[in-house]
Structure 1
Amino acid sequence: MSTPSDSSEHADVAPPLAPFPRRLSTRIIVLSAVALALVLSMIGGTLWLSWQLEGAGAAINDAGSLRMRANAVAIALWETRLGEPADLDDQLKLLDDTLRRLREGDAARPLFLPNDPAIHAQFDRVAAVWDAQLKPAVLSERDTGEGEPPKYLALLPGFVDEADRLVGMIERENARKTAWLRTSQLALAALSCVGTAAIVYLLYLWFIVPVQRLQEGLSRIESRKFDTRLPVDTEDEFGYLAQGFNRMVGELQALYRDLAALVEAKTAQLAVQNRELSLLYEMTACLNGNESAEVLCGDFLKRLMREFDVDGGSVRLVSAEDSKLHMLVSEGLSEELVNAERCMGVNDCICGSATSSEYAVMRSPRSMTGTDREYSKYCIRAGFVNVAAFGIVSQGESLGMFSLHFRRERAMSPSEVQLLRTLGRHLGVALKNRRLATLARQLAVSEERNLVAQGLHDSIAQGLSYLKMQVQLLDKAVRARDLDEIGELVPLLAGGVEESYEDVRELLLNFRTRLGPGALRPAVEDTVARFQRQSDAEVTLDYREEGGAPLPADQQLQVLFILQEALSNVRKHAEAQSVHVTVVNGRDFRLLVEDDGIGYDPADLDSAGESHVGFHIMRERARHLAATLKLDGRPDHGSRVELVLGAEARMAA
């Protein structure tokens, strides 16, 4: 492993592309081609020797058969001279065919004489002895008579000797080639061992050594020794890889040198982001409370002063009555400053400017001029050198502003400014929600008071009006001392008082009704039972649960009020003998009240308008539920009240 100083010249500039023999791919191809050529040549040599041995073996076999063929000819010639049947011509042909095969060879078997001039000369002598001596002797002695063929038998030993000499020469040549075959096989084995060792050594030099250097370099890099450099002593692929490794290590060394500063900066950035997220979470939890606006803004201001190390601050809201900024809460401000700026215009000073600007306003009180100078003097007397003001906004509406006062120079980063603007919007949403909640409660109270007034008008006011008229008649009868008239009026007055008392009790019971989840059915049963006690009519209740979800408490209460009002109208006006109440809680919620009383003309109901206060109250409550209310009736055929709360309007409990 070299040091950075002695290898830096290799790591800076990459050399040009290496010549052909230096590339690893070229080396591998050349090495493989040489090894393949050597192996194929050795294998080819052994194949050629084995082929030669096989052909020579066949030649030995056929050359050895010449002696047998010559003896067979002698036997056939003997039998012919004795007059016995013989195959002399066949034997002659077989011997001639054997000589022809030895002369011409047979590649299919294979069969051929070794390529040796001495062997071919010996074969020519054997063939010449046969063609010139033995074969003519056979032909001349075949028909000469009986007895031994003296000439052929005299020549036969010489032919056999020449054939034996030929066989011996072929066998010796075959033994020599067998020795060559063994030698070539041993050479092939030795070449395989040497070649394998050479290839392993070359691959070790070309691959293993560079890879080991890379591994060692990586190990040193893992130990954070970024001054490690690899020697670039080749111009092949591993040389290029070593150069790239050195460049990479150089860049890592430069990066690691600045890593501490980068980590510190990133850590500081993450700390700021965590602080902002924590403050946002804390403020969100604080602003979601149920405290009053003054308590809410006070907590908001205290948290800001603690988080941003603020010396003083205030929260001011725009009044809808005079469109001026009124100080709601303040912390760390002098009494003189608070009294002077308790109420100010929306465009006065720094604080007023923040209400009409969507950006933060940050200025020094000493730099103010004109009319703003009058307000800035109080900040200067209190020792504040910097003031930052941010708007309190909700859905584009400016609700006020909050200010942060510093007794030292304080520069705010863009992230802090953005965070404070975001907090101002969160505060604006919280204040807006409280205003809307207050308006909603006021509206609910107003609606309920309206319904109460209508109920009082429909029951108590009419009863009292009736009693007033009866009292006037009683006064007239008393003055006239008409005892009979007095006797008739007193029971009427008592009945009117009793009826008014019952109306008051019913109204009080209705107004005090409170329902929780799952309490509608018992309340409906109690209402029907109370109606049964107050009326002579026969009442039946059919309450069916058909898979609908329970209604929330406020919807249950409105449904119960409509049922109470419908039954009250039946009791007061219908003169009914039977009343049937049906409640079905399915996909839609359905309430049906039917009676067989005197009924009414719907046209009279429509022309009367709101004078039928009971019907008007039911319509108001149905409209509050977003439900459908159907009022139907015919004279002498009863009446019908049906309330349908659709699935799209009903809410889950």
Structure 2
Amino acid sequence: MAADLGAGTLATAEAAAPPRHAPLFAAWQRLSTRIVGVLLSFLAVALVVIGATLLLSWQLEGSAAAINVTGSLRMHSYRMGMLLTNMPARPDVAAAREEVRLQAGLISDTLTQLRHGDPRRPLFLPPAAAIRGNFELVERQWREELAPLAGTLLRQQSLSATDARMLEGRTARFVAAADALVQQIEHDSEERTFWLRGSQLMLLALAMVGTVSIIYLFFNMIVTPVTRLQAGMERMRERDFEVRLPVDSQDELGQLTNGFNQMADRLQHVYGGLNELVSTKTAALEGQNRELALLYDSAAFLQQPQPAEALCEGFLQRLISYFGADGGTVRMLDPLRGNLHLLVHQGISPELVEDERCIKVGDCLCGDAVERKVAVVHDMRRIDPALSLRCHREGYATVSVFHIYAQQQHLGFFNLHFREPTVIDEGRRALLDTLGQLLGTAIENRRLAGREREMAISEERNLVAQGLHDSIAQGLNFLHLQVQMLEQSLRAGEQEEAAAIVPALRAGVEESYQDVRELLHNFRARLPEGSIATSLQETVDKFRRQTGIPVELAADSDGAPLPREQQLQLLFIVQEALSNVRKHAGASKVKVSLSDRQDFILSIEDNGAGFVLDELPARGEGHVGIHIMRERAQRIGAQLSVQSRPGEGTRVELHLPRALRRAA
């Protein structure tokens, strides 16, 4: 009952207390604080009672000394009166007068001592107002009546009967006042003695009540909870896991009881929830099976022969479906220029696609992750909105960056965008890293396959070139020999007609021979390692050395790398255009321009003779090179345009729009 009342009182106090007292209340909830508080409270009360007892005893000692000192006033006053009365009859008057002065000094000293007190004895008058009033009366009678009369009589040579009666009366009044003062002090001492005994009885009662209270409190605060815990542990030992102990306090034993209940809950859960544990393990195995299924499906898909865009599109679609992402992207790295080109995307706004179609390594969050070569999961809520990132404006809460590797080579990275805050744990990070390696291996295999096809085509062209060399070139050489023989045979006949034909045949044979040699060179040419701008530079330098015609090359190449098949076709188009310039234009200056950004634009311009475009079909085989260039442009999805006027030169321009570009 008392414990319930105490708990209720504490609860009421906790509800009513202002927030600033919460730490004090929390401190009082601790068992150690309450034990120390109870002991200190009893100690404080005991010290107060003991102090009161000591004070009363000290005051009683002072009052007793005051009674003795006040009682001595009567003796000194009577003795002084007797000395004054008998002084004329004594032979030693001077000695009597000196003794009278001594008694008067003792009375004055006694009154002074009573007024000021002496704490060392101790000696002091009680602080009651009546006692102080009587003391003032006694002191006034001495100072105003008895002391002046004694001084007057001490100076006289004889004592009359009137003076004797006056001295006797004033001495009696002074003694009566001193007796009254003594009685008041004795009455005050009796009262203080009563209070002293009462405080002693109170101290005894306090000791008894305090001992019983401390035993009761300690029993409730310590013995009962410990006994209850011991009983609970006995039941727990008997495997009664349903045992729960009431938590009656928030102190250490209450926390221990709460921990016991939590332990009982855990044990009951462990022993009684085996099915739940089996279900949890089954769910974990199902999650692992889903990861394995994703890996198997992705690996099977990435092994299929298809373009890089289709590979990345299917790969990204599987990741978004598995992880529940709201969008994603795949970017390829151009290591030569340090650019990151957006290859495929899903669920991303057109504005974000346009802004981040091509970013530099180190720019933005994704470029920084590529520069540091670490996989990162960005919590956009923790990033300063003042950076004005597009992902912030698009409303994404989580953006992940995982890299695409193949044989320790960094090819790019892929993103997953989540509008809701998403946590990607270590297991999922490892899964995404593995998937990035699968995608990188597939892309690298595709590039290797492209190089293999290039090698096969190059070998085939080498065979064609060898066949042309062995057939057409030798035939033309034979024709050249026959013409020489014709020239020799005709010398004997119609020399003028033969002389007119032979130079034309010789020029035609030489031209054909140069065409064949150029064709052999073009077929045997291989695309060097590097960008398209590097390949164009080598082609332009070779043309300049062979023809002596100045060539200006202006290349602005900052777009995504082209596949090697497209680069090879573009190189053949440039070679064919320069061949036409050499054979037909008669130009003194050539300019080759390359603008490689989102769209690919390539132009070859000369200041030669030019021609009429409408007459081109009528010339037949003489300008078959333009048809070849158009066929090559059609193979890569580009558009070829030719602009020319007689006397104003010729401009050949190839345009490959961004929608038809393929990734390397």
**Scaled by the length of structure 2, what TM-score is found?**
0.43
**Scaled by the length of structure 1, what TM-score is found?**
0.43
